[in-house]
Structure 1
C-alpha cells in the first residue's frame, strides 16, 4: 500500500517538473507577444493592399503557389473539418432548388412574337410568306408592292441577323461567366465545404441576372419589327397619295360631271387604266371626293373654277391653232361671233356649278370665255367695238 502511494506521488511530481526544452520554448520571443502579433497582422494587411497593384499574371502565379502550399499542408484536413462544423452551426438557409420558378410571361410573349414574325426560330426567313401575304393584302396587287415586299424582306433579314448575332454574344458571355463561377466554386470546395446544390443555385442566380439582358434584346428587336411593319405592311397606313397626273385626271372627270359625279363601271375602268390604279381605288376616291365637296362647298367651288378655266384655256389654245392654220375656215377666230352665241355665255358658268354642263360645247364655250375676258364681248354678250382686231379685208 505504501509502495503504491509513493509511485503515484512520483508520477505527479514528474508531471509538474517541466520537460527539457519547454522552458526555452516559453522564453522564445513572439509566443504570446502582442507586438509580434501586431506585426504579423500588419504584414497580412500589407499583402492584401498590394493585391490591387499586382498584375493578373503575378496574382495567378502567387495564387497557384499558395494553393499548392495550402493543399499540401498537414493541417488542411483539420481546417476543413472546422469549417464544416462552423457551417453546420450557422445553418445557412438554402432554398429548395427542385422547385423551379415559372417562366417569365413577358419573355414568353416576346418569344412568341419573334417566332411569329420569322425573326426567331430555326428556319431563317420564316416570315417571308407572311410578309408576302400581308403586303399583297395591303397594297391591292399593285406593281410597286413587289418592290416594297423585297425591301421589307431585306430589312427583316437584317433585323434577324442582328438579333441572332447579339443573342449569340449574350449566350457566349453567359456561358463563359457561368463556367468560370462553377470552376471557381469547385476549386474552393477543396478547402471549404460547398454542396453541389449550392453551385446549382448560384448558376440559377447568374442566369436570372443575365435574363434581364436577354429580355432587353428581345424587346428592342420586337420594337424594330413593329416599326418595320407599320412602315411597310400596316393596311391603315397603306392609303397613299396618288400621283399628280392621276389626281388631275380624276379631278377633271369629277368637275366635268359635277351634276352627276357617279361614274359608271366603264368610266371607272377607263379612269383606272389611265391612272394606273385599281377600280376599287377609283370608287373610293370618288366617294371621298363627294364627301369632301359637300363639306367644303366654297373651297370646292374655287377648285372647280380652276379646273374649268384650265380646260377653257386648253380648248381656246386648240381653236387658235386651228384658226392660224386655216384662216378661211368657218371656225376661224378672226370673224366676230353672232349675237345668238352671246346668250350661251352663261352656260359656261352654269356648268361650273354642275347645273347645265354639256361636254360637247367645251371648245365653243371656252373660246367665248377667253374672248370675253380679252374684251371681245361686253358683259351682256354683245360684241365690243374696241379690244378686238378686225382684219381690213372684212371691213371693206
Structure 2
C-alpha cells in the first residue's frame, strides 16, 4: 500500500471520528430522519422478493440432466452413456471431457460465490457504518443486498449458458462420431456380412483377418471388432430372423464358387484365418 493511500485512509478515519464526536451529530441525525420520512411517503416500496428466474431454472435443469450439477451427477452421466447401447472407448473420452467442463464450471462458480459474498459483506459493513451518521434501516440494507444479488445473478446466468453450450457441442461431436462409426458404407457392410456368414460356425475373425477386413472396408480394427461383437449378439438373440439373410449369403457364396471354381479360387478370403 502506498504512502498516499495510507495518509488518505488516516485522514478519512480522523474526519469520521470528528463527525461522530461532534456535539451537533444527534441533531443532524434527527433532521436526516425527518427528511427521509417525508420522502418515503412519496415513494412506492418495491417488491421485496424476486420470483424465480425461469431462465435460471431452465439452465439448472439442463445442467442437471447432462450430469454437470446435482448430487447424482455421475449416476446421471452413466445412465446416459448406457442408454446409447454402446460400450466403446469413446465413452471414456466423453466422460473425461465432460468432467473437464464440470470442473471448470464448479471452479468458476466458486469464484463467483466468493466474489459475491465478499462484495455483499463489504457493502453491509459500509452501510452499517454509515447508519451511525444517517438513518439506514435493516430493511434497506437487505434491499441493497437483493439488488447486488440480481447483478451477480446475471454473471451466474452467463456462466451457466456458456457451460450448457460447451456440453451441447461435446454431445453433438460425440453423437456425430457414433453415427460415423455405425453408418458403414453398403459395400463395407456387404464385406463384413459375407465373412460372418461364410464363417458362421466360428464367427470370430483372427487379428490378421480383422486387419484385412478393416483395410477392405476402410474402417478401423476396433470398428471391425465392435461390428462382429454386435452381430454375434443380434444373431444369437434372433436366429430365425437372420436365417434368411444367412441363406442369401450362402447362395451368393455358392454362386461365386461356381463362377471361379475353374481357377481354383473361393471367395477371396484365402488370407483369412478361420479361427
1:80 is aligned to 29
Could you say if the C-alpha distance between residues 73 and 358 of structure 1 is closer, same or farther in structure 2, counting changes exceeding 3 Å? Answer: closer
1:230 is aligned to 172
1:184 and 2:113 are equivalent in the alignment: no
1:159 is aligned to 101
Could you say if the C-alpha distance between residues 216 and 240 of structure 1 is closer, same or farther in structure 2, counting changes exceeding 3 Å? Answer: same
Could you say if the C-alpha distance between residues 83 and 152 of structure 1 is closer, same or farther in structure 2, counting changes exceeding 3 Å? Answer: same
Could you say if the C-alpha distance between residues 134 and 358 of structure 1 is closer, same or farther in structure 2, counting changes exceeding 3 Å? Answer: closer
* Partner of residue 7 from structure 2, selected from 50, 58, 73: 58
* Partner of residue 208 from structure 1, selected from 139, 150, 172: 150
- 1:343-384: per-residue Cα shift (whole Å, max 9, x none)? xxxxxxxxxxx9xx55223153799xxxxxxxxxxxxxxxxx
Question: Bigger relative contact order, structure 1 or 2, given CA contacts below 8 A and separation 6+?
Answer: 2
- Contact map agreement 1:94 1:198 (CA 8 A) in 2: no
* Partner of residue 146 from structure 1, selected from 56, 63, 88: 88
Q: How far apart are 1:89 and its partner, in Å?
A: 2.5
- Structure 2: stretches of 5+ with no match in the other structure: 206-223, 236-240, 246-251, 266-275
What's the secondary structure of 1:66's corresponding residue? helix
- 1:9-54: per-residue Cα shift (whole Å, max 9, x none)? xxxxxxxxxxxxxxxxxxxxxxxxxxxxxxxxxxxxxxxxxxxx99
- Correspondences of 1:326-345 after superposition (within 5 Å): none
- Correspondences of 1:39-50 after superposition (within 5 Å): none
The structure with the greater share of residues assigned to helix is 2
Q: Distance in 2 between matches of 1:226 and 1:269?
A: 42
- Structure 1: stretches of 5+ with no match in the other structure: 1-52, 140-144, 255-264, 288-353, 368-396
Size of the aligned set, in residue pairs, is 225
- Contact map agreement 2:64 2:73 (CA 8 A) in 1: no
1:34 is aligned to none
- Contact map agreement 1:107 1:215 (CA 8 A) in 2: yes
1:69 is aligned to 18
1:105 is aligned to 54
Q: When the two structures are superposed, what TM-score results if normalisation uses the length of structure 1?
A: 0.49
2:213 is aligned to none
1:93 and 2:35 are equivalent in the alignment: no
Q: When the two structures are superposed, what TM-score results if normalisation uses the length of structure 2?
A: 0.68
Q: Distance in 2 between matches of 1:228 and 1:272?
A: 35
Q: Distance in 2 between matches of 1:211 and 1:237?
A: 38
CA radius of gyration, larger in: 1
Could you say if the C-alpha distance between residues 63 and 169 of structure 1 is closer, same or farther in structure 2, counting changes exceeding 3 Å? Answer: same
RMSD of equivalent CA atoms: 3.7
What's the secondary structure of 2:8's corresponding residue? helix
- Contact map agreement 2:59 2:164 (CA 8 A) in 1: yes
What's the secondary structure of 1:127's corresponding residue? helix
Could you say if the C-alpha distance between residues 104 and 59 of structure 1 is closer, same or farther in structure 2, counting changes exceeding 3 Å? Answer: same
Could you say if the C-alpha distance between residues 147 and 236 of structure 1 is closer, same or farther in structure 2, counting changes exceeding 3 Å? Answer: closer
